[in-house]
């Protein structure tokens, strides 16, 4: 079982188009899928789930779609908070939040505050997030620490860099899922996905349900994670190890 799952929820627009509906109807339906998958992960005892809800590049979408998405984030946060809290889910947002309205930033901060003491699923929502932004952000902080003498150049190693990245307190994702048929990482967690198993599904996000999640988990359970070692070493086959 993966400890940490990261998901690119793609295909809302195409789901709507197939039904001759506006793109926004796809996002609303996508929200229902999101609710079910959060619940499923929580029920399965998955430790952490990280969802890509809005990338730094998504601002380039039509103004109306961006505005409706922001409204959807705000209203869903208000509506879903109590249930998430009851389910012991701890919620956090990653990304450059400064670009959002004061109201949305306040809702985000409130949801994080309210659930900070929860010990169940760690739900991270990436908004105005980009993997390169995350790395640049870490480099800037490390540079400041170098300049003010808190760290020395020799101390910079992968563990130190990791500690400056988003989600540094969580294990790196074991399983990455992207729905909607594209096989790309699209500037999601670049640093954190170094050894993650990648799983791509043709299913559009609004149709991604618990059974689809089970399929992804089953595929994951058959993968052999070698981290650069040989298969024999991983299997503890001493003669060839
Ligand atoms: C990608 O589909 C989806 C998004 C950019 C928005 C994701 C938002 C949700 C699933 C709704 C709510 C989520 C939370 C966490 C409150 P797309 O529009 O790129 O689809 P397409 O590739 O078919 O056009």
* CATH number of the structural domain spanning residue 121: 3.40.1180.10
In a domain, 150, yes or no: no
Residue 222 in this model has a pLDDT that exceeds 60: yes
Q: How many domains does the chain have?
A: 1
Ligand 1 atom 12 nearest Cα: 31
Compute the distance from residue 100 Cα to the ligand 1 centre, in Å: 17
Q: How confident is the model at residue 239 (pLDDT cuts 50, 70, 90)?
A: low
**Nearest alpha-carbon partner for 36 in 4, 71, 1, 9:** 9
In a domain, 142, yes or no: no
Q: What is the DSSP string of 126-176?
A: EEEE-HHHHHHHHHHHHHHHHHTTSS-GGG-SHHHHHHTSTTTTSPPPSEE
- Indicate whether residue 30 lines ligand 1 (CB < 6 A): yes
Of 36, 58, 137, 187, the active-site residue reads: 58
- Indicate whether residue 206 lines ligand 1 (CB < 6 A): no
Specify the pLDDT at position 241: 55
pTM: 0.94
Catalytic status, residue 209? no
Compute the distance from residue 163 Cα to the ligand 1 centre, in Å: 29
- Indicate whether residue 199 lines ligand 1 (CB < 6 A): no
- Indicate whether residue 95 lines ligand 1 (CB < 6 A): no
Ligand 1 atom 7 nearest Cα: 53
The answer to whether 72 and 28 are in contact (CB under 8 A) is yes
Ligand 1 atom 8 nearest Cα: 53
- Host domain of residue 190: 4-131+172-223
Q: How many residues does the chain have?
A: 241
Using alpha carbons only, how large is the chain's radius of gyration in Å? 19
In a domain, 137, yes or no: no
In a domain, 166, yes or no: no
Q: Find how far residue 23's CA is from the centre of its chain.
A: 22
In a domain, 136, yes or no: no
Q: Find how far residue 152's CA is from the centre of its chain.
A: 32
| Residues 58-103: tens digit of each pLDDT | 999 999 999 999 999 999 999 999 999 999 999 999 999 999 999 9
**Nearest alpha-carbon partner for 225 in 191, 183, 195:** 195
Q: What is the mean pLDDT of residues 101-121?
A: 96
In a domain, 201, yes or no: yes
Percent of the chain with pLDDT over 90: 92
- Indicate whether residue 12 lines ligand 1 (CB < 6 A): yes
Task: List beta partners, residue 129.
Answer: 55
In a domain, 154, yes or no: no
**Nearest alpha-carbon partner for 175 in 193, 190, 196, 156:** 196
In a domain, 181, yes or no: yes
Residue 226 in this model has a pLDDT that exceeds 90: no
Catalytic status, residue 43? no
- How many Å apart are CA 6 and CA 123, to the nearest integer? 10
Q: What is the mean pLDDT of residues 198-222?
A: 98
């Amino acid at each position: 079982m993966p400890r940490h799952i990261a998901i690119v929820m793609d295909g809302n627009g195409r789901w709507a188009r197939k039904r001759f509906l506006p793109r926004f109807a796809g996002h609303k339906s996508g929200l229902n899928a999101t609710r079910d998958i959060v619940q499923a992960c929580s029920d399965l005892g998955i430790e952490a789930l990280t969802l890509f809800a809005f990338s730094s590049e998504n601002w380039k979408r039509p103004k109306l779609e961006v505005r409706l998405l922001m409204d959807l984030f705000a209203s869903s946060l208000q509506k879903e908070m109590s249930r998430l809290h009851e389910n012991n889910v701890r919620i956090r947002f990653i990304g450059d939040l400064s670009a959002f309205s004061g109201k949305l930033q306040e809702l985000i901060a409130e949801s994080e505050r309210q659930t900070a003491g929860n010990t169940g699923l760690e739900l991270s929502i990436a908004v105005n997030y980009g993997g390169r932004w995350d790395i640049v952000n870490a480099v800037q902080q490390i540079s400041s620490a170098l300049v003010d003498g808190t760290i020395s150049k020799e101390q910079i190693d992968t563990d130190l860099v990791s500690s400056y990245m988003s989600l540094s307190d969580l294990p790196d994702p074991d399983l990455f899922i992207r729905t909607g048929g594209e096989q790309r990482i699209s500037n999601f967690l670049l640093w954190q996905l170094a050894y993650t198993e990648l799983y791509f599904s043709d299913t559009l996000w609004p149709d991604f349900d618990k059974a689809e999640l089970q399929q992804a988990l089953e595929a994951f359970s058959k993968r052999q994670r070698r981290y650069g070692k040989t298969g024999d070493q991983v299997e503890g086959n001493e003669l060839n190890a």
